[in-house]
Amino acid sequence: MITLTEENYIKAIYHLGKQGVETVNTNAIAEALQTKASSVTDMLKKLAEKGYADYIKYQGVNLTVQGKKIAIGIIRKHRLWEVFLVEKLNFKWDEVHQVAEDLEHIKSEKLIDQLDAYLKHPTHDPHGDPIPDRDGNFKQIEKILLSQAILGNKYKCVGVKDTSSAFLNYLDANAIALGTEIVLLHKEPFDQSIKIEINNREITVSQNVAKNLFLKTV
């Protein structure tokens, strides 16, 4: 049996290591899970012992194939629940994260498969992140940050990097939603702020915003 805590660690390692390709170090995990480095060390030993991770003292940790499979399963559940909360229960996209954090640990194959079907097999969650299918397959759509966009080009918003309420509420207030079209009008060299056209309005956003909004060329 895998515990809820082990699942949270595995998911954190997966995310910190960019889908599990990079090695992750202790302090990063402690920071992500709001815990202490010494607690992380203990857990890494356990995960290694159980075959979920390869861990070398002082050198960091990597998920095994089995560990990655578990991580993807949890992420699938997390994102499906997020879709459910937004589409069916009228949650806003900034309210779903905490609840999904708990729901992702409910263990029932049937539950998640039926939920998937009920939601008509969604491919992306409310923040634009891809939802793995039941075999764990998913494709990351080609996306760039607004900060990397090219002057004059036309784009479509497809995701957010920061999922904090503060950022999501900012986007709501400025009528920037997933699917919204954007044209890059000007990049200010002084402070990296960016002027964009959106819904026939011109607005200027800070570098901070530009570094957290994902776009796709259209």
Partner DNA sequence: ATTTAAATTTAGATTAGTCTAAATTTTTAT
Partner DNA sequence: ATAAAAATTTAGACTAATCTAAATTTAAAT
Q: CB-wise, 8 or 212, nearer to Mn ion?
A: 8
24 DSSP assignment? B
Q: Which is nearer to DNA, 38 or 200 (CB)?
A: 38
Which among Mn ion, DNA, its own copies, none contacts residue 60 (Cβ within 5 to 8 A by kind)? DNA
Give the start-end residues of each E strand in the chain.
53-56, 60-63, 144-145, 154-160, 181-187, 194-198, 201-205, 213-217
Cα separation, 215 vs 20, in Å, equals 24
Number of residues binding to its own copies, judged by CB under 8 A: 18
Question: What span, in angstroms and rounded, lies between the C-alpha atoms of 71 and 8?
Answer: 9
| Pairing verdict, β 213-217 and 201-205 | unpaired
Question: How far is it, in rounded angstroms, from Cα 207 to Cα 205?
Answer: 7
Tally of CB atoms within 10 A around 73: 20
Closer Cβ to DNA, 49 or 113, answer by number: 49
Do you know the residue count of the chain? 218
**Which residue do the tokens 């993807």 mark?**
72
Under the binding rule (CB under 7 A), the answer on residue 62 touching DNA is no
CB of 62 to DNA, least distance (A): 13
Binding flag, residue 101, Mn ion (CB under 5 A): yes
In contact, 8 and 71? CB cutoff 8 Å: no
Task: Pick the stretch among 1-9, 78-86, 89-97, 201-209 that binds DNA (CB under 7 A).
Answer: 1-9
Count of residues in contact with DNA, rule CB under 7 A: 25
Q: Max Cα separation, the chain?
A: 57
Which of 35, 123, 193, 206 binds DNA (CB under 7 A)? It is 35
User: Within 37-96, which residues bind its own copies (CB under 8 A)?
Assistant: 85, 88-91, 95
Q: Which does 5 bind (CB under 5 to 8 A by kind): Mn ion, DNA, its own copies, none?
A: DNA
Does 108 bind DNA (CB under 7 A)? Our answer is no
Q: Judged by CB under 5 A, does residue 94 bind Mn ion?
A: no
Binder of residue 106, out of Mn ion, DNA, its own copies, none (CB less than 5 to 8 A by kind):
its own copies
Q: How far apart are the first and last CA of the chain?
A: 46
Residues that bind its own copies (CB under 8 A): 85, 88-91, 95, 98-99, 102-103, 106-108, 110-111, 114-115, 118
Residues that bind Mn ion (CB under 5 A): 8, 82, 101, 125, 127
